[in-house]
Amino acid sequence: MIDLLIYLADRSPAFRRFVWKHWYQYLAGYDVRDWHFMNYGFLDSSPDTFVPQLEESDEPNRYCIQLYDRVARAVDLQGKRIVEVGSGRGGGSSYVHRYHRPAATTGIDFSARAVRFCRGAHRHAGLDFIRGDAERLPLDDASCDAVLNVESSHCYGSMPRFVAQAFRVLRPGGHLLFADFRIPSVAAELPATFERAGFRIVERQSITEQVLAALRADSERKLRLLERHVPPRRLATLRRFAAIEGSDVFRHFENGTFVYERFSLEKPAS
Ligand SMILES: C[S@@+](CC[C@H](N)C(=O)[O-])C[C@H]1O[C@@H](n2cnc3c(N)ncnc32)[C@H](O)[C@@H]1O
C-alpha cells in the first residue's frame, strides 16, 4: 500500500502535495511535547568540522540541529529578517533564532496543527509561526534577507514555483539556504532550477554521507521514542519514515537511490 502511494506521488505533483499534506497534518496530531524536529540529521566527524555548543536541553536533538546549523551557517544571519519554509514542529526555526541571532524569524508551514503546536512550544521574542504554502508564500516582495528550507521541498507539487517564490520574497543580496534529498536524476535538475529563477549558486555540497552518519548515530534514540508514542499498528510505517537503520528508506541512502544535497544561493544584488 505504502509503495503504491509513493509510486503515485512520484508521478503526480498534485497527488504528491495531497499525500504529504495529509501525512504531516496527521503527524502534527501526535501530542508529543518534546518532539521538535522531523529531519534526518547531520554528523560530520572530520577533525576540522565546526561543532555547535548547545544548551543541555538542546543536546537530545543534536543531529537534527547540526543539519540546521550546517545550512544556516553559510551566511551571517545576525540582525537579519529570516523565514523558514516548511518549519514543521518548529525546532529548527527556534534553534536558528536563538543561536544565529537574526532580528526576526518566521516559520511557515501548511499544516495548521503544526503551526498551532509551534506557537505553544516555541515562545521567544522575535520568533513567530504562520500557516502558508511554499508555492504561494504569504509574504511581500523583497521582505526578507534569508529563506531557510530544510527537508521540506520533496513534498512540493512544483519545485520551480517554490524557488520563484523564494526569489520574489528575498531582498536583492539575500540568500536561499536549502537542504533536501531526491533521487539522483531529479537532484541533477536542481542547479538549473535555481539558476533559471535568477539565483547564483554560492555553494553546493553533497551531504549524503553526513546524513547517513547521523541516521546511524540517532537510530536507537528515535526508535525508543517511536516505541513509546506510536501505536503498534503504525510502528512499521513510522520506522520507515524516520529512516531508522535497517529500514528501506535508510538503505535508499546507503545504496544511492536517494542523495542529499545542500545549497547556498544568492539573489544577485543587481
Ligand atoms: C520532513 S518535515 C521537515 C520539518 C522541519 N524542516 C524539520 O527539519 O524538522 C517537512 C515539512 O514541510 C511541510 N510542508 C510540506 N509541503 C509544504 C508546502 N507546500 N508549504 C509549506 N510547508 C510544507 C510539512 O508540513 C512538514 O512540516
Give residue-wise pLDDT tens across range 107-150.
999 999 999 999 999 999 999 999 999 999 999 999 999 999 99
Residue of the CA atom closest to atom 8 of ligand 1 = 39
Q: Is the CB of 151 under 6 A from ligand 1?
A: yes
Q: Is the CB of 155 under 6 A from ligand 1?
A: yes
CATH number for the domain spanning 48: value is: 3.40.50.150
Residue 1 in this model has a pLDDT that exceeds 60: no
Alpha-carbon span 206 to 250, nearest angstrom: 17
Residue 214 in this model has a pLDDT that exceeds 60: yes
Q: Is the CB of 174 under 6 A from ligand 1?
A: no
Which residue range(s) make up the domain with 42? 2-266
- Structural domain total, the chain: 1
Read out DSSP for the chain?
-HHHHHHHHHH-HHHHHHHHHHHHHHHHT---TT----S------STT-------GGGGGGHHHHHHHHHHHTTS--TT-EEEEES-TTSHHHHHHHHHH--SEEEEEES-HHHHHHHHHH---TTEEEEE-BTTB-SS-TT-EEEEEEES-GGG-S-HHHHHHHHHHHEEEEEEEEEEEEE-HHHHTTHHHHHHHHT-EEEEEEE-HHHHHHHHHHHHHHHHHHHHHHS-GGGHHHHHHHTT-TTSHHHHHHHTTSSEEEEEEEE----
Give residue-wise pLDDT tens across range 219-260.
999 999 888 888 888 888 888 888 999 899 999 999 999 999
| 111 CA distance to ligand 1 middle (Å) | 8
Give residue-wise pLDDT tens across range 34-54.
889 999 999 999 999 999 999
Ligand 1, residues 23, 34, 105, 110: which to mutate, most atoms within 8 A of Cβ?
Answer: 110
Give residue-wise pLDDT tens across range 157-206.
999 999 999 999 999 999 999 999 999 999 999 999 999 999 999 999 99
Residue 8 in this model has a pLDDT that exceeds 90: no
- Of all atoms in ligand 1, which is nearest to the CA of residue 24? 25
Q: Is the CB of 86 under 6 A from ligand 1?
A: yes
- Of all atoms in ligand 1, which is nearest to the CA of residue 134? 20
Q: Is the CB of 61 under 6 A from ligand 1?
A: no
Backbone phi and psi for residue 231, each to the nearest 5 degrees, phi listed first: -60, 145
